[in-house]
Amino acid sequence: MDASSWETVAAPPHPALAGLVGEYAEFSERADGPVVRYEPANAGAVLIVEFADPLIVADVAEPGVSRTWRAFAAGPSLGPTRTEHAGVQHCVEVRLTPLGLYRVAGNVSELADRAVGLAELFGREGRELPEKIVAQQDPASRFALLDALLGRAAVEGPEPDPEVAYTWHTLQRTGGTAGIGEIRAEIGWSRARLARRFRAQIGLTPKAAARVIRFGRAAALLRAPDPQPLSAIALSCGYADQAHFTRDFREFAGRPPSAWAADRG
């Protein structure tokens, strides 16, 4: 059901977190009834702290199991994550890059396709964070609190391997079309070593990350104000044909591209 009202306040993180945190946002929504959304596959991560009713979440790892969360993190995923609320939502959302998630959480391979409590990422600070955020008086204060928490976690966290960071940035820069074999030749790593280290620090294998990046680019083009035909988008994003394009969309978004483009809610 469409929301009857929707407000958003967004802001960038502190400059020291550039490249690790994408954006902070505070959402307020009121609808006439329950609202169900499907968050598509994503190579990054999202942290959510809910002020109103808890969210009901079914992650990719256990799509048939719904859990109730007031504060949680969803790691990199290869499929849609289902969320539902009763009609009123007020939350703070943090978007983390894959390398940012590694810096604040360490080995992230166990977070792939899962929603977890913030204590699993930040320990005691994660358990206390929701109450502290709710106690702040305005979005700017809440975002400053997040700057402090994530800044400390990033300083104390591990540095990614330069080879992993290079592979990730190359895939991102090329829209997921760079050849994995060519990257391996550049960095001098074996297939097994790159797959193991990349998954530990990004949460996905290089091949899976490339597919998700390509899907993300196509999804953004589909929702542009004046989108190109599906066949043109598929070709520009490196899909072999439109059938391949449609298969990836069904896997990653739970819907064909035409339905994704029509739903701007």
pLDDT digits (tens, 9 = 90+) for 51-64: 988 999 999 999 89
The pLDDT assigned to 264 comes to: 56
> Each residue of 203-223: b (16+ CB within 10 Å) or e?
bbbbebbbbbbbbbbbbebbe
As a whole number of Å, the end-to-end CA separation of the chain is: 9
Question: Which of 86, 130, 92, 83 lies closest to 8 in space, CA to CA?
Answer: 92
Quote the pLDDT of residue 147.
Answer: 95
- pTM of the complete model: 0.90
Q: Is the pLDDT of residue 1 over 50?
A: no
Q: Taking the domains of the chain in order of start, what are their residue ranges? A: 3-156, 162-262
Instruction: Say yes or no to pLDDT of 13 above 80.
Output: yes
* Top-tier CATH class for 3-156: mainly beta
Tell me what pLDDT residue 23 has. 92
pLDDT, one tens digit per residue, over 103-136 is 998 878 889 999 999 998 888 888 999 999 999 9
What confidence category does residue 3 fall into, taking pLDDT thresholds of 50, 70 and 90? very low
Dihedral sign for Cα atoms in the order 173, 177, 183, 184: positive
- The answer, yes or no, to whether residue 223 has pLDDT greater than 80, is yes
Residue 265 is predicted with a pLDDT of 47
pLDDT for the residue numbered 259 = 85
* Mean pLDDT, rounded, of the chain: 91
| pLDDT at residue 237, rounded to an integer | 92
Residue 65 has pLDDT above 90, yes or no: yes
pLDDT greater than 70 at residue 31 = yes
Predicted local distance difference test score (pLDDT) of residue 52: 81
Bridge partners of 72?
Answer: 48
2 pLDDT tier (thresholds 50, 70, 90)? low
Identify the CATH assignment for 162-262 out of 1.10.150.130, 1.10.10.60, 3.30.450.20, 1.10.540.10.
1.10.10.60
In the sheet that holds 3-11, the strands lie side by side as 3-11, 21-31, 88-96, 45-50, 71-74, 115-116
Residue range 127-152, pLDDT digits in tens:
999 999 999 999 999 999 999 999 99
Output the six-digit token pair for 8.
Answer: 């958003």
d(CA 253, CA 247): 10
Q: What is the mean predicted confidence (pLDDT) over 15-44? A: 92
For residue range 240-263, what is the model confidence (pLDDT) as tens digits? 888 899 999 999 999 898 888 777
What share of the chain in percent tops pLDDT 70? 98
